[in-house]
Amino acid sequence: MEEKKSIGSRIGAFFRWIGRDLADIGITFARGDWKTRISFLVVGLGQILRGQYVRGISVLCLAAAMLFYIFGFGLSYLKDILTLGTQGRGFNPDGTISLGDNSFLILLYGILTIIVILALVLVWRINLRQNREAQELLAQGKALPSNRKDLYSVLDRNFDKTLLALPVLGIFVFTVLPIIFMICVAFTNYDYNHQAPAKLFTWVGLENFRNIFSIGGEGYGGTFFTVLAWTLIWAFFATFLNYFLGMAVAIMINKKGIRFKKLWRTILVMTIAVPQFVSLLYIGKMFASDGLVNAYLLKWGLIQKAIPFWTNPTYARILIIVINLWIGIPYMMLIATGLLMNIPEDLYESARIDGANSFQMFFKITLPYMLFVTGPFLLTQFIGNLNNFNVIFLLNQGRPQSMNLKGGAGYTDLLVTWLYKMTINDTDYKMAAVIGIMVFIVTAVISLVVYNFLPSVKDEEGFQ
């Protein structure tokens, strides 16, 4: 299998590929005619001279735009990327006001410039390949593809590029670039005290990572591990409780002899239909100290004092897991209903003849089948719950907070809600970035490990 290659051999393969490519460029130049050679200098000129206007002009325009960005704009930022600016906003020695550098822009545009330079190399390389192809075709006495055909190819042979151009560009600008930027921020001291443009921020190496792992004193370590542990506990319960109870509800609704199946299902599905910010905000308020639940318990004399649902860490944690059932069971019920119907009826029939009761049938037939089929689904659910922002935040915003926890974290905060609070309340961007990277690591490790253990991945034909 391809994935099983060791990292060493991959790196080796990468360098061999680079070597081959360089050699290929050399050969292209050595054997090239003057039209090919001139394209080494002016991208697209060779194609235009051969009459391939569509190709030539498109690569020429691309390369021109990139060069314009790099020299007109990007390089002035890129040159400061190692320091992220030296002069803050203030007065020059001669008394004039200086706008100074802006670390944020230097970092962002610096990264963009590096990427554009790499893209320019790629365009240049594509341009060489086009020249070589054209030259070889002509040498064999064949005709070059016409401009019309080139244009038409975006609907046919090159349709993938047409379809993917916009989505890839959008993801690059609004996902890839920001993620690279934030990964870099994790290695700087960008926070409340270093807000560009008034104050500069700069590289601090692994300082922030040391902070997040250092327990005691000013370190964030204790808080980080508390939040991480709760995140994992939460994801575990939220996933598996919903899974089994949702399946149980589905089995009950589908039980033979139970009527109004559609009604039960519709009632449950309401929770998926109503926007969560309405339902969860309302439920959160229901359990507040002055909320309905406490009010009625007091009125009926069941309790003397309001139960601190949201201010006691343990109560809050349990309550959140319970309320999440309200969200999660209907979803699982829908999925389980479809899957339960797929289990061949004769399996149950023969089990019944052998004298199995319904519990045995559940544990020997239904459960193994469901676990097998929904393995990947459970994994994505688990990952989704690790990052389940809405439930936590809408119910009680990660509270209760505590002096024992740093960085404004509360006892029901997940890593993502903590990250959010750091960005919004504390504007501690550097630590928010570190936490983001931690979330990524946790997600990636769990995904990789679990994925390799899933029976349905190992053995696709298993349950047939």
Partner 1 sequence: MTRKKHISNAIVYIVLIVISVIWLFPFVGLALQSFRSYISEFGGMVNYLIPKKFTLDSYKFLFSGECQFPRWYMNTLIIAVAATVFNTIIIICVSYALSRLRFKGRRALMNIWLVLGMFPGFLTMICLYFLLKMLGLTQSGAVPGLILISVAGAGMQYYVCKGYFDTLPKALDEAARIDGANRAQILLIMIVPLSKPIIIYTALLAFMAPWCDFVFASYVAFGYSASYNVAVALQQWVWTNDFQGYFTRFCAGGILVAIPVTILFMCLQKYYVEGVTGGSVKG
Site for partner 1 in 63-102 (CB under 8 A): none
Is 433 a binder of partner 1 (CB under 8 A)?
yes
Is 145 a binder of partner 1 (CB under 8 A)?
no
Report DSSP state, residue 2.
Answer: G
Is 420 a binder of partner 1 (CB under 8 A)?
yes
Is 399 a binder of partner 1 (CB under 8 A)?
no
Binding window for partner 1 (CB under 8 A); candidates: 49-57, 84-92, 124-132, 378-386? 378-386
Q: Specify the residue, 62 or 332, whose C-beta has the smaller distance to partner 1.
A: 332
363 vs 356: CA distance, rounded Å: 11
Binding mask 320-359 for partner 1 (x = CB under 8 A): ------x---xx--xx-xxx--------------------
Asked if 217 and 301 count as a contact pair (C-beta separation under 8 A), the reply is no
Q: How far is the CB of 93 from partner 1 (least distance, A)?
A: 31
Report how far apart, in Å, the C-alpha atoms of 92 and of each of 85, 98, 195, 273, 353 are. 15, 6, 20, 60, 93
Is 288 a binder of partner 1 (CB under 8 A)?
yes
- With CB under 8 A as the contact rule, the residue among 92, 162, 360, 402 that binds partner 1 is 162
Q: Specify the residue, 116 or 182, whose C-beta has the smaller distance to partner 1.
A: 182
Query: What residues form DSSP beta bridges with 410?
Result: 401
Provide φ and ψ at 98, rounded to 5°: -110, 135
Is 453 a binder of partner 1 (CB under 8 A)?
no
Is 285 a binder of partner 1 (CB under 8 A)?
yes
Interactions with partner 1, residue window 27-56 (CB under 8 A): none
Binding window for partner 1 (CB under 8 A); candidates: 24-32, 36-44, 58-66, 153-161? 153-161
Q: How far is the CB of 199 from partner 1 (least distance, A)?
A: 16
Report how far apart, in Å, the C-alpha atoms of 343 and of each of 338, 441, 444 are. 10, 37, 33
Residues 6+ apart with CB under 8 A from 47: 39, 53, 55, 56, 59, 127, 130, 131, 134
Q: How far is the CB of 333 from partner 1 (least distance, A)?
A: 10
Q: Specify the residue, 217 or 338, whose C-beta has the smaller distance to partner 1.
A: 338
Is 176 a binder of partner 1 (CB under 8 A)?
yes
Beta strands in 373-424 (DSSP E): none
Q: How far is the CB of 186 from partner 1 (least distance, A)?
A: 10
Cis check for the bond before 93: say yes or no (omega within 30 of 0): no
Is 392 a binder of partner 1 (CB under 8 A)?
no
Binding window for partner 1 (CB under 8 A); candidates: 54-62, 130-138, 223-231, 383-391? 383-391
Question: What six digits make up the tokens of 464?
Answer: 């047939």
- How many beta carbons lie within 10 A of that of residue 147, not counting itself? 15
Question: Residue 260 region, left (φ>0) first, then alpha (ψ -120 to 50), else beta?
Answer: left
429 vs 231: CA distance, rounded Å: 21
Q: How far is the CB of 19 from partner 1 (least distance, A)?
A: 20
Element (H, E) at 97: strand 97-98
| Total number of residues that touch partner 1 (CB under 8 A) | 99
Is 7 a binder of partner 1 (CB under 8 A)?
no
Binding mask 109-128 for partner 1 (x = CB under 8 A): --------------------
Q: Specify the residue, 66 or 422, whose C-beta has the smaller distance to partner 1.
A: 422
Query: What residues form DSSP beta bridges with 188?
Result: 203
Element (H, E) at 460: none
- How many beta carbons lie within 10 A of that of residue 407, not counting itself? 20
- With CB under 8 A as the contact rule, the residue among 54, 62, 128, 182 that binds partner 1 is 182
Measured at the alpha carbon of residue 231, what is the angle toward residues 228 and 232, in degrees to the nearest 5?
A: 90
Cis check for the bond before 400: say yes or no (omega within 30 of 0): yes
Binding window for partner 1 (CB under 8 A); candidates: 69-77, 85-93, 120-128, 271-279? 271-279
Residue carrying structure tokens 């790629």: 122
- With CB under 8 A as the contact rule, the residue among 58, 214, 271, 311 that binds partner 1 is 271
Element (H, E) at 110: helix 103-139
Is 369 a binder of partner 1 (CB under 8 A)?
no
Question: What six digits make up the tokens of 357?
Answer: 């009761």
Binding window for partner 1 (CB under 8 A); candidates: 157-165, 205-213, 214-222, 312-320? 157-165
Q: Specify the residue, 309 or 393, whose C-beta has the smaller distance to partner 1.
A: 393
Binding mask 221-260 for partner 1 (x = CB under 8 A): ----------------------------x--xx-x-xx--
Q: Which of 444, 438, 452, 451 is nearest to 229 (CA)?
A: 438
252 vs 380: CA distance, rounded Å: 25
